[in-house]
Structure formats: structure tokens, C-alpha cells
């Protein structure tokens, strides 16, 4: 047997192996090829953004209070004048607790001033009542919507409801000055508010019109029955007290 013949070496055989990409970019690094001394790959995936730009995936910075309130007013006008589930969908990304708290405080203060001039009431009482009434009412609707398979969050649902609840509440306070015409206007505003609440429920909880209608009307029906029962009890108490006089 003869000696094995030597073959010509490929020039690439003497080339160093290719350096793997930094972590998070391309294929995972091969532990058999560590980076050369002194090299530090950038932290995380890829390279950091240039100064002045937020990192990838970061939430948008909060809007200034004045701009947020202006945006809320524009969205409220849109949902009241152009009622549709799509209109509520377009306002979902603007929901935040700070703006809602300011709007509820303004709504309660204005209603308290108007009611104080016409009947009895105060600014502080109007604000406290507005916060308690709105958040408890929204919580009841949220629980019923979840029972029907709703998927919306409490914050977004509250924001959608507040878009029309705030202007209608101030409208009701002003309509109270108009006696019988005011009662008709209040009734019309209440019916329109129910319709808008149904659209907001369809939008935020992804429910059908039938289920959303049930969500909104169930607490209204329960409240109506309770008012009738309370009225009957008060009337019976008055009659019983009259007989004892």
C-alpha cells in the first residue's frame, strides 16, 4: 500500500469561524464560539433605541390634562351625535382614570350648582354623589355583562359610559328648570341614554345587541320594581298611621 497522497488545502480552511450575532438577533449564539475579549453585546434584543425614543413595546406617554380633557369632549360629542358601536371603539385607547375623575368631579360640581339654585343641593354633595352613583352603577353593569360573557375591562367600560353620561347628567340638571317641558326632555334623554349604554356594551364587551340590551335593562327593571314596592310600602304605612291618629 502506498502513502496517502496530500491534497491541496482549501484557503477557507484557515479562516476563523464566523462570529455569531448578538443575543436576540438572528440565530442563537453558539457556546462553542464565544465573543472575543473586550466585546460586550448590547443588552436585550438588538441595539437600544437612539436618545429621545421610547423602548419597543413601551406604552405611549400620558397626555397633558388639558389635551386629555379636550379629547374627551370631542369623543363625547362624537358618541352623542353619531351613535354607533364603531364610534365607541374609536375612543377605547383614550381611557384613563385621571381624565375620568376630573370629568366626574366637573359633572358633579355643575349639577350641584344647578340643583342648588333650583332646589336644594351643594357642590360637594353633587361631586360625592356623582362618584358614588357612577362607579356603583358601572360596577353593576360590568358584573351583569360578565355574566353574559362580556370581555371588556371595567376601566374601558366606565370610560365609554361616561362619554355620554356626563353631558346627559348636566342636560338633566338644566332641564329641571323647565317644569313640564323639562320632564319630557329628561325622559327623552333617559331613553337615549339607555340606547347609548347598549351600544357602549356592544362595543366594550363584544356582545350582541340582544345580550347588551338585557345587560342594560335588567338593573333598570329591578330598580323599577323596587320603586313600586317602596311606594306601596310607604302608602301602606301612611294609611296605617292615619288610622291610628
State yes or no: pLDDT of 24 exceeds 90: no
pTM over 0.85: no
What's the confidence (pLDDT) of residue 151? 95
State yes or no: pLDDT of 100 exceeds 60: yes
More confident call, 135 vs 243 = 135
List pLDDT tens digits, range 137-172: 999 999 999 999 999 999 999 999 999 999 999 999
What's the confidence (pLDDT) of residue 238? 77
Confidence of residue 117 (pLDDT cuts 50, 70, 90): confident
What is the pLDDT averaged over residues 4-23? Answer: 55
Cα separation of 242 and 234, whole Å? 12
Q: Which residue has the cell 323639562?
A: 182
Interaxial angle between packed helices 154-175 and 97-118, expressed in degrees from 0 to 180 and rounded to the nearest 10:
20
81-95, 172-186, 216-230: segment of lowest average pLDDT: 172-186
State yes or no: pLDDT of 29 exceeds 80: no
Amino acid at each position: 500500500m502506498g502513502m496517502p497522497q496530500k491534497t491541496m488545502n482549501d484557503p477557507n480552511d484557515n479562516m476563523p469561524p464566523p462570529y455569531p450575532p448578538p443575543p436576540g438577533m438572528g440565530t442563537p449564539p453558539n457556546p462553542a464560539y464565544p465573543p472575543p475579549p473586550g466585546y460586550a453585546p448590547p443588552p436585550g434584543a438588538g441595539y437600544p433605541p437612539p436618545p429621545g425614543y421610547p423602548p419597543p413595546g413601551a406604552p405611549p406617554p400620558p397626555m397633558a390634562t388639558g389635551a386629555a380633557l379636550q379629547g374627551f369632549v370631542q369623543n363625547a360629542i362624537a358618541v352623542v351625535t353619531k351613535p354607533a358601536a364603531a364610534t365607541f371603539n374609536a375612543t377605547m385607547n383614550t381611557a384613563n382614570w385621571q381624565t375620568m375623575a376630573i370629568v366626574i368631579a366637573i359633572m358633579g360640581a355643575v349639577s350641584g350648582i344647578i340643583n342648588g339654585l333650583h332646589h336644594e343641593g351643594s357642590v360637594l354633595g353633587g361631586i360625592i354623589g356623582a362618584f358614588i352613583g357612577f362607579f356603583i352603577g358601572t360596577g353593576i353593569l360590568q358584573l351583569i355583562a360578565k355574566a353574559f360573557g362580556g370581555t371588556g375591562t371595567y376601566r374601558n367600560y366606565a370610560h365609554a359610559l361616561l362619554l355620554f353620561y356626563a353631558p346627559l347628567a348636566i342636560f338633566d340638571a338644566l332641564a329641571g328648570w323647565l317644569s313640564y317641558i323639562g320632564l319630557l326632555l329628561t325622559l327623552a334623554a333617559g331613553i337615549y341614554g339607555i340606547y347609548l349604554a347598549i351600544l357602549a356594551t356592544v362595543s366594550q364587551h363584544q356582545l350582541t345587541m340582544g345580550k347588551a340590551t338585557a345587560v342594560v335593562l335588567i338593573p333598570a327593571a329591578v330598580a323599577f320594581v323596587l320603586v313600586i314596592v317602596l311606594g306601596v310600602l310607604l302608602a301602606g304605612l301612611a294609611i296605617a298611621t292615619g288610622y291610628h291618629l
